[in-house]
Amino acid sequence: MHDDKTIGMIGTGIMGGPMARRLARAGWRVKAWNRSRDKAAALCEVGNVTLADSPVEAAEDTAAVIVMLSSGPVCDEVLLGEAGALAAMRPGSTLIVMSSIPVETARTQAEAARQCGVSYLDAPVSGGERGAIDGTLAIMAGGEAAAFEQAEPLLAELGRPVHVGPAGSGQLAKLANQMIVANSIATVSEALLLAERGGADPARVREALQGGFADSTILRVHGQRMIEGDYAPGGPAKWQLKDTQTAMALAEQLSLELPVSQLVNRLFHDHVAHGDGELDHSALIRELRRLNRLPVE
């Protein structure tokens, strides 16, 4: 990276906002842009944050640009083309796309960055809003080893970065993560419904399972959400569906049959189709209640 500590932050929503705050508080100068300007404006109270009027302005004269947008097409729209943010980045700087995007999209972006003399990392994250606030995100980075080494001090402010391979590998790791998360949410939902329907107290069952082989972050955190009916979005179900659909499309390209993940993908599809896409992904238990003709709280 360059000697200066100026970072462009493109996308300051549920994840990008807390990430920008952490970087600013750690001493990085952050130029923030968000399509909804009010979300970026809220960062100014932190100090070390200035608002950019466009992605191009956020990208100019920076050591690195972090992108945390909703999808591959949105990232491409903002980054690529003559009027895109990538063209405004100075040679030798680093583009870090932390959105969850298709593997091929990451590889295409990496090649576009190379042609501009810009290093590239696809570095999606896991840990949700809480992880972004606390700086405990799991960060899966794909790209050249030298680019990762340069960006590691910056990424370490946000969580635990691990270099997993060439460009696109970060997205492969994230898809693996999202498959595990989605399938675990479905299984915990089924287990709690079984306990409830059989006459046990789901809250006590969840407590009893902790520390055993069935224990997991999903059981502890999302199991509690399911029991309390607290579905304020940390990770909206619509984005979980986007990731499971991407994983299933890649599996088809690779001639892989993944029956459990295919079933869970269909459950999330129906869940979102029934109007729950803005709820946290732990709300999948509502779809299983519908499936079993049980009251949906």
- Residue 2: what pLDDT? 44
6-166, what's its fold? Rossmann fold (3.40.50)
User: Do residues 149 and 126 touch, judged by C-beta distance below 8 A?
Assistant: no
What residue ranges of the chain have pLDDT lower than 70?
1-3
The structural architecture, per CATH, of the domain 172-291 is: Orthogonal Bundle (1.10)
CA 196 vs. chain centroid, Å, equals 32
User: Do residues 170 and 143 touch, judged by C-beta distance below 8 A?
Assistant: yes
User: Do residues 106 and 126 touch, judged by C-beta distance below 8 A?
Assistant: no
Catalytic residues: 174
Q: How many CB atoms lie within 10 A of CB 190?
A: 14
Tell me the helices (H) and strands (E) count for the chain, helix number first: 15, 9
Residue extents of the structural domains in the chain: 6-166, 172-291
- Residue 1: what pLDDT? 44
Written as six digits, the tokens of 97 are: 């796309």
- Residue 128: what pLDDT? 86
Digit-coded pLDDT (tens) for 156-184? 999 999 999 999 999 999 999 999 999 99
- Residue 3: what pLDDT? 46
Nearest to 136 by CA among 155, 159, 102: 159
Q: Is 211 left (phi over 0), alpha (psi -120 to 50) or beta?
A: left
DSSP character for 90?
P
**Angstrom distance (rounded) from CA 41 to CA 275:** 30
DSSP character for 5?
-
Model pTM score: 0.86
- Residue 151: what pLDDT? 97
- Residue 29: what pLDDT? 95
**Angstrom distance (rounded) from CA 63 to CA 69:** 19
- Residue 44: what pLDDT? 85
User: Do residues 209 and 215 touch, judged by C-beta distance below 8 A?
Assistant: yes
User: Do residues 260 and 179 touch, judged by C-beta distance below 8 A?
Assistant: no
3 state SS of 254: coil
